[in-house]
Structure 1
Amino acid sequence: MKSFTAVSVLATALAALAPGASAASCYGSATWGSVQEYQTTASAICRGSESYTGQSDCQRGPVGGQCCTQHEAWFKGTRGRRDYCWDAFNNIIAQCIQKEGRNGGEWTWSSGGLTQNYYLQSNRVCRSKRELQHNAINGVISEGAFNATSDATSVETEESK
């Protein structure tokens, strides 16, 4: 934990000095998952993926469904360049997750016609038993989920169909 904190403080300082850099824009109301899970999610983007979605901490949800922590990250940038990938994600993790206790954020860098936008967020996502069965039969992995923090009443509605 100490080494990550030192790295994230250094990365945040360097990112702040980069031309066109901005502080992370944070959102969400609660941190879902560990710093390590956020770093693992970010690493998929820094290794070259445009987007990544992963799950952890899956548990039986309401009415036989399942609730998991869903981690998401994506990147959009000019010509696919990721010059500030780790700086951006370390900034989001340090500022939004660790300091503000939020569930994610985004960080944008722009200079000389190049723009890079990095996004990282985790939420608690639940799926109904019916949806899980349908997805298993049809080979669907993650479509149709809803955010447990904002749509908790949807489980009962979905189950009554």
Structure 2
Amino acid sequence: MPAPATPVMTAPTVSAYLDEVFPQIKSNGDDISVIEVSPGSALVRLNADDKHLRPGGTVSGPTLFMLADLAAYAVILAHIGKVALAVTTNLNINFLMKPAPGALDATATILKLGKRLVVTDIAISDHEGALVAHATATYSIPPQI
């Protein structure tokens, strides 16, 4: 098995870059942040509150999908640098539990980092560490000109 990719950006630099190129993620407040970047992975936290809930008081599926996609984007940026036009080509998610409001951690791991495609695995856990969703995402990296 190959060694994990080495990050080229830290969590604070990924966060600052996201604020610059993708400011709409903060349009509902400062409830999502890149917590950590390490070789081959990144941790993104969402503090889910009332605006993230569906009827019945559980965090909505679209919110979990957004968290998975953002975690994949964060880990990819952390490892390839400031490539804003890296885009999702596929994302598959399995909802495993109904998470309550509170902190949700998405740990994204790079499975394959190629020249044009990056494949990631994302595990979303609640504040007690229970796995609430699992996703895989593939991103396309634009060609360098």
Fold shared by both chains (TM-score > 0.5)? no
Structure showing greater relative contact order (alpha-carbon pairs closer than 8 Å, 6 or more residues apart): 1
Structure having the higher strand fraction is 2
Higher radius of gyration, 1 or 2: 1
Q: Under a length normalisation based on structure 2, what TM-score does the superposition of the two structures give?
A: 0.29
